Structures are given as structure tokens and as C-alpha cells.
Amino acid sequence: MDKFVINGRKKLHGEVEVSGAKNATLPIMAATLLAKGRSILRNVPYLNDIKMMAHLLRVVGARVDFHDNVLEIDTTNANYFEAPYELVNKMRASIYVMGPLLARFGQTKVSFPGGCAIGTRPVDLHLEAMEALGAKIEIDHGYINANCKEMKGNKIHFSKVSVGATANAIMAAVLATGETNIYNAAVEPEIGSLIDFLNLMGARIEGKDTSHPIITGVSELKPADMEMMPDRIEAGTFLIAGAITKSEITVSNCIPEHIQALIDKMEDAGCLFEILGDCIRIFPSTTIKPVNIVTQPYPDFPTDLQAQFLTLMSLADGQCLMEDTIFPDRFMHVAELNRLNANISMRGNVATINGVEYLSSTDVMATDLRASAALVLAGLAAQGKTTISRIYHIDRGYDKIEQKLSGLGADIERISG
């Protein structure tokens, strides 16, 4: 297994370009199953999760070519409706094919996704949405069997904001007969991007970027060609890299409003920003002020930047709290950060961070995608040489992160295992 070796406390400089968004691309890949023909997705990042979804689409019969950051997905011969355990248990986002397969074939069999390092990851809201549209759901031997002769539009009330369940519900509703009203839908930018793609396919979806999208079912969709939006979590991760190394850097090819909650909190921590179009330049502060965070659905502070911001706060000039209301167990990085001399204690889903003067390098182990990004940030700030093992986690969500950081002047090297 590959490792990263980072010699810390190097000043960063220059500009880094953000890649396409993983969490926008994955549902859109699944959405291509709703039409027969060849869809083109551009600005697609080279990530293991994208490759896993491409493999799943091939399993259901699509032809997928991935070159020069372009995905060509031909679903003409898609004829299989099962998402097998060995794929779903590696990538939870496989559940995204449930809505499209049900809408296209009237049936689907998706392995029940297991939990992961950040939590149990239930899918009850996904299933409730499918049932609301007329699907008959049976759980059998760890598989979700969903059948529906004809999907019918309905009202779907989500008891909790769920990005995945919102995406699945919208994808299942676009070919349903009649109108579907979704209430308490997620309003993350990735959902807006999915709606853009579906409307390009010929769907009729109103209320983009609102918690109440209205879908008027159509009889057929056609393939589409779209550029993936920039990855807001990667953009935020690099801004924090600038803050934690006290470096002025520019993050380009991003959408600043997508990470306004982070920018606000980093300003509270003493950072200054210059925003010019799709570029954000950070001017870090000499001392990092402690800032309390409670993660919430968009547009509030995202859980996907919790581990990274917590790492920055480990060097703050005082004490602060970090509460994750979305994934209460998403704190596997805390134990590893404490091995780097951080001083963080946990009570339930709340971390108390007592800022320390410095982090000191040692060997640490990545446990999940965003935790591994946090450890990279810690390594950039730590005195000495930090080695991070199990970095396959980071390859799921960051495209060539070590090359991008090296381009900013970091001393980071991938050691192939």
C-alpha cells in the first residue's frame, strides 16, 4: 500500500487548480442510465470512486471510456439491474444506481450498503422515496429488491436532509407518470448540478437549489454532454493548507460561494481573502484564532471539511469545539492527530480542541477519505517527517493531491507500497 512522506513546515506559494467534483460526478454517472445512448461528462477527476462507479456501470451493461478527464458512457445496451455486494460495499455511492435502474427497467437489486469509518450510513430515506413513487421494496439476504411496473409521481417528505436520498428520488421521478414534489430536499450544489444534467437530458425539474424541487415526469430522456462543476471540498482543503502553513496561495477554478461557510469561519480564525471570479487568494494570519464549528447541511459548514478544519484548530491560540451533527462518528482522525502532538478530546460527537504550539511528526494511518486529507494538512504543518499509510483512502477523493501540493512548494512524496 502506498504511503505519503511529508517534510513539514515548508512555506507554500503560487496557485493550485481545483479538479471536477467527485460528489457531483457520481450521481450524474448513474443518471446516464436513464437514457439510451452516449453521454459525455467533462472535467471528470481521476479518482478511485469514479473508476468504481464506471466499473458498476459496465456491470449493468453500459460501455464506459475514460480518457483526458472525459467520461463517455454509452448505455444503449445496459440490460442488467443488479449492483453486487462486492462493489457496493467498497463504495456507498453505488446506491445511486437504484433510482435510475428502477426508472428504466422497473426493477433493481442493490446490495445493502454497509457502514464505513464515518458511520452506519443507513438508506431508509432512499427506500421511502422509492416506495412513495410506487416501488415494492423487499430486503432479502442483504439485497434491496425493488420492483415497480410504473413509477407514479407523488409527494416525498424527507424527515432528514439527505444528499443521496434526494438524488435518488429525483432520478427515480424524472420518468414517472405525473408530478413529484419533494420536501426537505438537500440543496447542496451537487444536487443542483444533477438537476442541470437531468434537464439537459430532457427532464422537467423546477426548484433547483431549493428544498422543494418539483419534477414533472416525461416519457423519455436523451443522452447529454456536460462539464462537471469544481470540487468545493478540494478547494476548501487547499485553502486550509494555506492557512495551516501560513502561506499565501491562490486556489483557482473554484466557485467561492460554494464554500462561503468555510471562508466565513476562516475569517473568524484570522485569515483574509481576496476573491476574483473563480479564484480565491488566502492571506493567512500569524496566529490562528479558535473558532467553534457545528456541521450542518448546505449552505452551512459541511461535514466534509470538518476533519480538515479541526486540524487547523489544533494549532489555534486557545480552545474551541467541533460538533459533527451529520456523521457523529466522523472523528477517526482525532486519535492520529493526537499522535502528532495535538490536544483533542472527544465527548460524543463533540471534539474539544486545545490548541498547541506545534505538531510534531510521526507515523500515522489514514482511516477514511477526509481524515486522510486532515493528516496530510497536519503533516504540512508538523515539525519533521510525517509518514501517512493507507493513502488509498485519499485517492478516492483527491486527484493527484501530492503533485498539486508539490506544485505549491510542499515537500511531499508518494512511496509506492
The contact set with ligand EPZ (CB under 6 A) reads 23, 26, 92-93, 119, 121-126, 160, 162-165, 186, 303-304, 326-327, 369-370, 397
| Cell numbers for 239 | 485553502
Helix 124-132 and helix 163-173, axial crossing angle in degrees, nearest 10:
20
Structural element, H or E, at residue 23: helix 22-31
Smaller CB distance to ligand EPZ: residue 314 or 372?
372
Give phi and psi for 394, each to the nearest 5: -75, -25
> What's the DSSP call for residue 66?
E
Grid coordinates 505538531 are at which residue?
359
Q: Which residues neighbour 65 within 8 Å (Cβ) at sequence distance 6 or greater?
A: 71, 72
Half-sphere exposure of 209 (CA within 13 A, CB side): 6
Which DSSP string do the residues of 308-371 spell out, in sequence order? HHHHHHTTSSSEEEEEESS-TT--HHHHHHHHTT--EEEETTEEEEE--S--B--EEE--SHHH
Of 252, 381, 218, which Cα lies nearest the Cα of 313?
381
Smaller CB distance to ligand EPZ: residue 56 or 93?
93
Distances (CA, A) of 80 to 59, 63, 76, 77, 135: 7, 13, 12, 9, 18
Residue 216, beta-bridge partner list: 179, 204
Of 150, 179, 182, which Cα lies nearest the Cα of 163?
182
Smaller CB distance to ligand EPZ: residue 307 or 382?
307
Q: Which residue is nearest to ligand EPZ, using beta carbons?
A: 164
> What's the DSSP call for residue 408?
T
Smaller CB distance to ligand EPZ: residue 95 or 380?
95
| Cell numbers for 349 | 460527537
Nearest approach, Cβ of residue 82 and ligand EPZ (Å): 20
| Cell numbers for 28 | 450524474
Please identify which of the residues 116, 148, 254, 320 carries the catalytic annotation.
Answer: 116
The yes-or-no answer on residue 271 being catalytic is no
Structural element, H or E, at residue 143: strand 143-147
Nearest approach, Cβ of residue 319 and ligand EPZ (Å): 26
Nearest approach, Cβ of residue 200 and ligand EPZ (Å): 20
Smaller CB distance to ligand EPZ: residue 191 or 388?
191
Smaller CB distance to ligand EPZ: residue 102 or 163?
163
Smaller CB distance to ligand EPZ: residue 306 or 341?
306
Please return the burial class of 380, using the count of CB atoms within 10 Å of its CB with bins 0-12, 13-18 and 19+.
buried
Distances (CA, A) of 383 to 103, 335, 341, 361, 379: 54, 18, 10, 6, 8
Smaller CB distance to ligand EPZ: residue 246 or 258?
258
Grid coordinates 413529484 are at which residue?
180
Active site residues per annotation:
116
